[in-house]
Amino acid sequence: MENRSSEALPGEVIEMVTLTQLCQSCGVQTDWVVELVNEGVLEPQGPDPKRWQFSAVSITRVRVAWHLQRDLGVNQAGIALALNLLEEREALRQQLQRFGRSVPGSIVDADGF
Amino acid sequence: MDYKDYYETLGLKRTATQDEIKSTYRKLARKFHPDVNHEKGAEDKFKALGEAYEVLKDPEKRAAYDQLGANWQEGQNFRPPPEWDSGFEYSGAGAGAADEGAYSDFFENLFGRARAAGAGGQQRSRQEFHATGQDHHAKITIDLRDAFEGATRSISLRSPEVDASGHVQLKERTIKVKIPKGITQGQHIRLAGQGNPGVGRGQAGDLYLEIYFHEDPVFSVDGRDVYFDLPIAPWEAALGAKVKAPTPTGVVGLTVPKSAHTGQKLRLKGRGIPGKPAGDLYAVLQIVLPPAKTDKDRAFYEQMEREMDFNPRAKLGVK
């Protein structure tokens, strides 16, 4: 394995993955991913499972979904809810970061009159 | 090795019931799960909880652990008494392969044998067996500039491997990766054949790298769009101005329009992260007030106060 490390490896940016690639990459069963699609957690393009194309973000979603089920016993509906809330929280965190940067707040006690 | 106080990890008394152990573990696991809690230390805490629960949820393992006695302190140097576990049998095989290597020495010494024997048995099997190696996932954090210009980065990966004696060990290796220009947060790079090794003549799995950006003191990112705050003087805001602004790849000239206000966004189309389509770069205007430090400064403000018809609190209905 050492000889792998000598030169820089060209990375392939993933735009879309098939159902088979998605399942293999995340180490999960096909049926389980189909259930996630039915639950609306993933929205592949294409008419039927054989021709489904998933955006690369689906890899992250499937992995988080799997961890939530394996580690916390969350079911599919719970996973859908948790993922939505987690993504909403992340978006808010980023907004807050942008906003917080522009308002360097310091508190001064004011004299009321 | 260090003693682990599994009851303390869960915040429970040694007399806790199995139900209490389960509900406490579940509550804490939800709180510290690394996909839910991104704070530093959450992942370590989650692993420690998992290890404690692995022992305490199983009445056989718990009984064996309990008979070590209650006088040990967390972190205390510990050596198991000889034949400490005689009379106990573990029926559970422990955690799944994905979690191997995640437990402390303390756990591995006391409860790890069953798993190691199982894994070794598989390895020693004479039947020929080929399988593609598992894909490996890792995160890589790069600078925003790398997304604009491309870069080469070295990353260290740790993956569990089973050695000749059947023990699971974390092996570390370093690889260099070309980061292509135009990559953005949340995207994945695939490196074919860089995942876990295959079994027999099976191919190695692939390595997937998920891209994250380091927090930047100036720029923030939304998809391919990039934002930064651009401070301007009150007269620049009122009269309009031509100012210089930073971008991740150099300085650019910008025209501030007349009557600009705080929070107004000036868009530089296509100057965000490159791609098809490229993102936009937004300068978010922030009007900065000059401090009245000298008599002359104060005279300016006094003149404005006298001569300008302006009530900043008009909307609040007060003066």
| A71 shares contact with chain B (CB less than 8 Å) | yes
**End of a domain among B124, B157, B186?**
B124
Q: Is the residue at A94 inside a domain? A: no
Task: Give me the number of domains chain A comprises.
Answer: 1
Mean pLDDT of B250-262: 92
Query: Residue B123 above 70 pLDDT?
Result: no
Mean pLDDT of B63-77: 78
Q: What are B's interface residues with A at a Cβ cutoff of 8 A? A: 26, 29-30, 33-36, 46, 50, 98, 134-135, 137, 152, 173-180, 182-183, 186-192, 194, 197, 206, 208-210, 215, 220, 222, 227, 229, 263, 284, 286
In this predicted model, what pLDDT tens digit does every residue of B183-212 receive, in sequence order? 998 899 999 888 877 777 788 888 999 998
Q: Are residues B17 and B118 located together in one domain of the fold?
A: yes
CATH number, position A51: 1.10.1660.10
* Contact yes or no for B206 and A25 at CB 8 A: yes
- pTM equals 0.71
CATH number, position B54: 1.10.287.110
Letter string b/e over residues B88-109, b meaning 16 or more CB atoms within 10 A of that residue's CB = eeeeeebeeeebbbbbbebbbe
What residues in B contact A97, CB-CB < 8 Å?
215, 220
Mean pLDDT of A31-41: 93
Residue A32 to residues A37, A71, B58, B188, Cα–Cα distance (Å): 9, 16, 28, 22
Task: Give me the number of domains chain B comprises.
Answer: 3
Q: Is the residue at A5 inside a domain? A: no
3-state SS, residue A93: helix
Q: How far is it, in rounded angstroms, from Cα B204 to Cα B110?
A: 33
- Nearest chain A Cα distance for residue B38, angstroms: 10
**End of a domain among B124, B158, B178?**
B124
Q: Are residues B234 and B276 located together in one domain of the fold?
A: yes
Q: Are residues B192 and B119 located together in one domain of the fold?
A: no
Choose the mutation target among B187, B214, B222 for the interface with A, i.e. most A CBs under 10 Å: B187
Choose the mutation target among B46, B188, B286 for the interface with A, i.e. most A CBs under 10 Å: B188
Task: Output the pLDDT for position B228.
Answer: 92
* Contact yes or no for A14 and B188 at CB 8 A: yes
Report the mean per-residue pLDDT for chain B: 83
What residues in B contact A101, CB-CB < 8 Å?
220, 229
Q: What is the 3-state secondary structure (H, E, C) of chain B?
A: CECCCHHHHHCCCCCCCHHHHHHHHHHHHHHHCCCCCCCCCHHHHHHHHHHHHHHHCCHHHHHHHHCCCCCCCCCCECCCCCCCCCCCCCCCCCCCHHHCCCCCHHHHHHHCHHHHHHHHHHHHCCCCCCECCCCEEEEEEECHHHHHHCEEEEEEEEEEEECCCCCEEEEEEEEEEEECCCCCCCCEEEECCCCCCCECCCCCCCEEEEEEECCCCCEEEECCEEEEEEEECHHHHHHCEEEEEEECCEEEEEEECCCCCCCCEEEECCCCCCCCCCCCEEEEEEECCCCCCCHHHHHHHHHHHHHCCCCCCHHHCCC
3-state SS, residue A92: helix
* Contact yes or no for B191 and A98 at CB 8 A: no
Task: Domain of residue A44: give its range.
Answer: 14-84
Q: Are residues B140 and B105 located together in one domain of the fold?
A: no
Does this complex have an ipTM over 0.85?
no
Query: Residue A27 above 60 pLDDT?
Result: yes
Query: Residue B156 above 90 pLDDT?
Result: no
More confident: B318 or B97: B318
Query: Residue A5 above 60 pLDDT?
Result: no
* pLDDT band, residue B244 (cuts 50/70/90): very high
Query: Residue B100 above 50 pLDDT?
Result: no
Task: Output the pLDDT for position B96.
Answer: 40
Give backbone dihedrals phi and psi of B52, rounded to 5 degrees, phi first.
Answer: -60, -45
Q: Are residues B116 and B166 located together in one domain of the fold?
A: no
CATH number, position B266: 2.60.260.20
Task: Domain of residue B143: give its range.
Answer: 136-213
Q: Are residues B284 and B236 located together in one domain of the fold?
A: yes
Query: Residue B245 above 70 pLDDT?
Result: yes
| A47 shares contact with chain B (CB less than 8 Å) | no
Q: Is the residue at B313 inside a domain? A: no
- Determine the distance from the C-alpha atom of residue B195 to the mean position of all C-alpha atoms in its chain, rounded to a whole number: 20
* Pick from A4, A10, A63: CB nearest B137: A63
**End of a domain among B194, B213, B232?**
B213
Q: Is the residue at B273 inside a domain? A: yes
| A7 shares contact with chain B (CB less than 8 Å) | yes
Q: What is the helix (H) or strand (E) element at residue A100, kind and residue range?
A: helix A76-102
* Pick from B35, B215, B227: CB nearest A68: B35
- Cβ-Cβ contacts under 8 Å between A and B: the total is 99
Q: Is the residue at A35 inside a domain? A: yes
* Contact yes or no for B210 and A60 at CB 8 A: yes
pLDDT > 90 fraction of chain B, expressed in percent and rounded: 47
* Pick from B34, B176, B192: CB nearest A8: B176
In this predicted model, what pLDDT tens digit does every residue of B15-57 receive, in sequence order? 999 999 999 999 999 999 998 898 889 989 999 999 999 999 9
Q: Nearest chain B Cα to A103, which residue?
A: B286
Q: Is the residue at B318 inside a domain? A: no
Q: Are residues B71 and B179 located together in one domain of the fold?
A: no
In this predicted model, what pLDDT tens digit does every residue of A57-113 receive, in sequence order? 899 999 999 999 998 899 999 999 999 999 999 888 888 877 766 555 566 677 667
* Contact yes or no for A9 and B209 at CB 8 A: no
